[in-house]
C-alpha cells in the first residue's frame, strides 16, 4: 500500500480523535454528554478507508437532520477478534463485522437483542463482497482457479479463520469448489482443502494483515482476498498486480447491528440506529461502490459493472445451512478446519 494507506492499517480510521486498532474503545466513546455525541463502531479489517469516508458524510447528514454534531470512534481488527472484544467489554455502539455469526456471538452474550438480522434490509448487510485471487503481474505460477492453489510450489497467503471473518469466507468458497469438483465426496473434499492449506505460507490474524504480508512484505505467490482489498491494491499499485476471478466464489455478506445494551447505557440509540440506516442511502451506497464494496442496492450496483465482475458464479451461506450451521461444521474447535490444518 502507499504510505498513507499503510498508515491507515496501523492506526484505526475515524472522524474522532479517539481511535483503536484492537477493538478497545477510546475513553470518550459511547457518550451523549456535551455538545457532541460520540459513538463507537467496532468493525473488521478492510473497512478502514470506507468508514473513514462514511463517518464524514454521516456526520454532515446527521447535523443537517437534527442539528446535533456526532463523532465516530473507529476500531478495526480481525472480525472474530473484534466480536470477542465487544463481548469482553469494548464499548461498541454499533458493530459492522465480516459475517453474521460474529454478531450472533455478541447476541448470545446478551448484548444484542434477538432478531437483529432482520432489523435492516438485506439481512442487515448494506454491502457485499466476494473472494478473488490477487497475483503479481504476469501471474508467473499460472493461477486461474482453486485447484491451482494446491499445486506444488505455490505459496498461498490467507488469514486465519479462527480470528478473521474474511478467512471463513475464503475457506467456504474453496470448500464449495471442492464440493462441485468431487460431487460431494467429503473425503476427497477434505483432502483437496488440506492440500490448499498445506501451501499456506503465512496465516495472519486478519484480512488487512494478510494483504500487507502479500503486498508490502512481498511474500507468497497468491493472496486469497476480499474483492475490495484486491481492487484497492490494484489501485494503489497500478501495473504490479492482477486479479484472478475463480470459476466459483461466494457472496460474502458483512453484517451490521446496534449493540443494544451499550446504546441503552450510553444514551446513543437514536444516533446509532441512524448511523446504520444511512448506510442504505444512495449517497452511502455509492460511496461503498467507490470503496470497492458491492452496494446492496441493485440499481446502484449496476452502475459499477465496470468495476465488479457481476457474472461470477457465487454460492451463498445458505448453501452451507446458514452461518450457525457453517460455523459448527467448519470452524468451531474440533470441526473440519481443525481436522485438516
Quote the mean pLDDT of the chain.
91
Instruction: Report whether pLDDT(23) > 60.
Output: no
Cell numbers of 266, please?
A: 450510553
Which tens digit of pLDDT belongs to each residue from 9-20?
Answer: 322 323 333 344
Which tens digit of pLDDT belongs to each residue from 254-312?
Answer: 999 999 999 999 999 999 999 999 999 999 999 999 999 999 999 999 999 999 999 99
User: Phi then psi for 331, rounded to 5 degrees?
Assistant: -120, -15
- Enumerate residues 6+ apart whose C-beta is below 8 A from 54: 279, 284, 287
Cell numbers of 285, please?
A: 451506497
Give the position of cell 503465512: 202
Averaged pLDDT for residues 4-8 = 34
Which tens digit of pLDDT belongs to each residue from 98-145?
Answer: 999 999 999 999 999 999 999 999 999 999 999 999 999 999 999 999
Instruction: Report whether pLDDT(252) > 50.
Output: yes
Instruction: Report whether pLDDT(1) > 50.
Output: no
The predicted pLDDT at position 267 comes to 97
How many C-beta neighbours within 10 Å does residue 21 have? 17
* Residue 133, Cβ density class (10 Å: 0-12 exposed, 13-18 middle, ≥19 buried): buried
Q: What pTM, to 2 d.p., does this model score?
A: 0.87
- Enumerate residues 6+ apart whose C-beta is below 8 A from 174: 146, 149, 192, 193, 196, 224
- Quickly state the pLDDT bin for 36 (edges 50, 70, 90): very high
- Quickly state the pLDDT bin for 28 (edges 50, 70, 90): very low
Amino acid at each position: 500500500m502507499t504510505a498513507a494507506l499503510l498508515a491507515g492499517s496501523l492506526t484505526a480510521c475515524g472522524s474522532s480523535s479517539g481511535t483503536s486498532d484492537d477493538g478497545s474503545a477510546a475513553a470518550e466513546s459511547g457518550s451523549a454528554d456535551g455538545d457532541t455525541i460520540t459513538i463507537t463502531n467496532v468493525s473488521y479489517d478492510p473497512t478502514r478507508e470506507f468508514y473513514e469516508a462514511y463517518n464524514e458524510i454521516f456526520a454532515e447528514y446527521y447535523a443537517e437532520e437534527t442539528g446535533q454534531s456526532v463523532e465516530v470512534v473507529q476500531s478495526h481488527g480481525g472480525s472474530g477478534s473484534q466480536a470477542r472484544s465487544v463481548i469482553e467489554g469494548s464499548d461498541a455502539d454499533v458493530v459492522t463485522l465480516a459475517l453474521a455469526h460474529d454478531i450472533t456471538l455478541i447476541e448470545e452474550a446478551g448484548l444484542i437483542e434477538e432478531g437483529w438480522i432482520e432489523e435492516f434490509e438485506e439481512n442487515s448487510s448494506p454491502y457485499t463482497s466476494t473472494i478473488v485471487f490477487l497475483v503479481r503481474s504476469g501471474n508467473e505460477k499460472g493461477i486461474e482457479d482453486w485447484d491451482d492453489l494446491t499445486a506444488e510450489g505455490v505459496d498461498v497467503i490467507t488469514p486465519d479463520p479462527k480470528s478473521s471473518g474474511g478467512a471463513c469466507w475464503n475457506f467456504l468458497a474453496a470448500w464449495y469448489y471442492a464440493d462441485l469438483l468431487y460431487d460431494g465426496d467429503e473425503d476427497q473434499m477434505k483432502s483437496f482443502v488440506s492440500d490448499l492449506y498445506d501451501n499456506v505460507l503465512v496465516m495472519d490474524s486478519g484480512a488487512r494483515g494478510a494483504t500487507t504480508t502479500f503486498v508490502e512484505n512481498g511474500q507468497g505467490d497468491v493472496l486469497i482476498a476480499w474483492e475490495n482489498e484486491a481492487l484497492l491494491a490494484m489501485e494503489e499499485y497500478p501495473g504490479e498486480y492482477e486479479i484472478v476471478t475463480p470459476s466459483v466464489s461466494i457472496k460474502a455478506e458483512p453484517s451490521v447491528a446496534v449493540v443494544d445494551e451499550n446504546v441503552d447505557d450510553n444514551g446513543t440509540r437514536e444516533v446509532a440506529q441512524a448511523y446504520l440506516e444511512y448506510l442504505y442511502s444512495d449517497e452511502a451506497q455509492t460511496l461503498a461502490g467507490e470503496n470497492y464494496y458491492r452496494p446492496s442496492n441493485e440499481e446502484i450496483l449496476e452502475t459499477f459493472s465496470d468495476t465488479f465482475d457481476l457474472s461470477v458464479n457465487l454460492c451463498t451461506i445458505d448453501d452451507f445451512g446458514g452461518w450457525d450451521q457453517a460455523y459448527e461444521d467448519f470452524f468451531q474447535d474440533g470441526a473440519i478446519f481443525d481436522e485438516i490444518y
